[in-house]
């Protein structure tokens, strides 16, 4: 009996356990199903809201696009108006410039026509006065050149006279070398006078005086040749004497050239 009772309780326990398991499974199944349904409902609600939001945004952008299109059309119209005004004012300015240029040109032409006669007379007067001033200045310059030449001629003639006086003085004292020296310098100064003289008589007198003094220099040098003690003085002043003889040889007078050449030959022979 005890064994049967135990079996009975065991079977009862197993049945209860199976029933509990079935109830638990069913309960979980119901809960899962409920959750899925709830989730699906929530998902449907969220999708609809999102779709509504997107539609609102699309509508907003459409409205903004329409507003921008209106503003662009308005700006294009304003730009067209400004271009039209600019073109108008530019054309007006060009026309005003042309008118002003024509007016100024006309006035200048009128002034030129009116004043051309007096202007031409004024130009002639100024040119005449300028030419008179230039001619006066030229004449003054020519007079100055003449005065300078005359002064230079007088200076050279004075130097020639001084050299001739020195020649005569040293001739009296029998100083052969200095007599030769100043006779030579007198001839050189006379040739210098000839080079700047313009009057024919002054040129002829200059050549004559130069030839006379060059002959005196030759006479004195021939005396020097006969005096060996003077050779040192001649040697010391050889370059200066040669330069003066070269100045005489450059003259265009043949007699002076011949006399100068003769003197040069004598000096070379003496200083050998």
Per-residue pLDDT tens digits for 22-62: 655 555 554 454 555 455 545 555 656 666 776 676 676 56
Please give the pLDDT value at position 19.
65
In whole angstroms, what separates CA 14 from the centre of its chain? 125
Residue 227, SS3? coil
The band of 165, judged by pLDDT with boundaries at 50, 70 and 90, is very high
Please give the pLDDT value at position 5.
53
- For residue 28, being part of any structural domain is answered with no
- For residue 191, being part of any structural domain is answered with yes
- For residue 54, being part of any structural domain is answered with no
* 150 or 68, higher pLDDT: 150
Instruction: Tell whether the model's pLDDT for residue 70 goes beyond 50.
Output: yes
- For residue 23, being part of any structural domain is answered with no
Please give the pLDDT value at position 27.
52
Mean pLDDT of 83-104: 67
Give dist(CA 232, CA 98) in Å, integer.
98
Summarised one tens digit per residue, pLDDT across range 200-251 is: 888 888 899 999 999 999 999 999 999 888 889 899 999 999 999 999 998 8
Placement of tokens 């509990």 in the chain: 20
In whole angstroms, what separates CA 136 from the centre of its chain? 39
What single DSSP character describes residue 272? -
Summarised one tens digit per residue, pLDDT across range 116-139 is: 566 677 777 888 888 888 888 888
User: Nearest 5°: phi and psi at 173?
Assistant: -85, 0
Domain ranges, residue 201: 146-270
Closest to 264 measured CA to CA, from 231, 230, 239, 227? 239
Share of the chain above pLDDT 70, in %: 60
Give dist(CA 56, CA 62) in Å, integer.
10
| Domains identified in the chain, total number | 1
Please give the pLDDT value at position 46.
61
Compute the C-alpha angle 58/60/64, nearest 5°: 115
- For residue 113, being part of any structural domain is answered with no
Q: Indicate the Cα dihedral angle 34, 36, 39, 45, nearest 10°.
A: -90
User: Nearest 5°: phi and psi at 198?
Assistant: -115, -30
* 147 or 222, higher pLDDT: 222
Instruction: Tell whether the model's pLDDT for residue 185 goes beyond 70.
Output: yes
Q: Roughly what angle, to the nearest 10 degrees, separates helices 254-270 and 238-249?
A: 160
User: Nearest 5°: phi and psi at 52?
Assistant: -65, -40
- For residue 100, being part of any structural domain is answered with no
What's the predicted TM-score (pTM) here? 0.50
**Residues contacting residue 221 through CB under 8 Å, at least 6 positions apart:** 180, 263, 266, 267, 270
Q: Which of 91-100, 185-194, 199-208 has the highest mean pLDDT?
A: 185-194
Residue 264 has which token pair? 């040069």
Please give the pLDDT value at position 113.
55
Q: Mean pLDDT score of the chain, rounded to an integer?
A: 76
Please give the pLDDT value at position 31.
46
Please give the pLDDT value at position 105.
73
- For residue 213, being part of any structural domain is answered with yes
210 and 191 in contact (C-beta within 8 Å)? yes
Residue 5 has which token pair? 């009772």
- For residue 64, being part of any structural domain is answered with no
Give dist(CA 186, CA 160) in Å, integer.
5
Mean pLDDT of 69-73: 61
């Amino acid at each position: 009996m005890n064994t049967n009772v135990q079996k009975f309780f065991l079977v009862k326990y197993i049945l209860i356990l199976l029933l509990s398991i079935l109830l638990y499974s069913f309960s979980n199944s119901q809960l899962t199903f409920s959750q899925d349904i709830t989730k699906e409902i929530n998902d449907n609600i969220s999708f609809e809201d999102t779709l509504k939001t997107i539609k609102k945004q699309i509508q907003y952008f459409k409205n903004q696009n329409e507003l921008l299109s209106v503003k662009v059309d308005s700006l294009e119209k304003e730009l067209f108006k400004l271009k039209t005004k600019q073109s108008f004012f530019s054309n007006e300015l060009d026309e005003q410039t042309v008118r002003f240029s024509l007016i100024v040109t006309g006035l200048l032409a009128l002034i030129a026509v009116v004043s051309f006669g007096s202007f031409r007379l004024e130009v002639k007067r100024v040119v005449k006065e300028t030419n008179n001033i230039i001619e006066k200045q030229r004449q003054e310059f020519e007079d100055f050149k003449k005065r300078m030449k005359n002064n230079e001629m007088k200076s050279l003639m004075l130097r020639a006279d001084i050299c001739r006086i020195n020649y005569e003085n040293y001739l009296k004292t029998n100083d052969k070398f200095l007599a030769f020296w100043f006779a030579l310098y007198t001839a050189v100064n006379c040739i210098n006078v000839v080079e700047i003289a313009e009057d024919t008589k002054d040129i002829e007198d200059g050549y004559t005086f130069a030839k006379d003094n060059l002959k005196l220099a030759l006479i004195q040098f021939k005396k020097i040749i006969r005096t060996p003690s003077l050779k040192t003085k001649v040697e010391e002043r050889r370059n200066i004497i040669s330069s003066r003889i070269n100045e005489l040889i450059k003259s265009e007078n043949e007699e002076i050239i011949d006399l100068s050449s003769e003197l040069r030959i004598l000096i070379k022979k003496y200083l050998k």
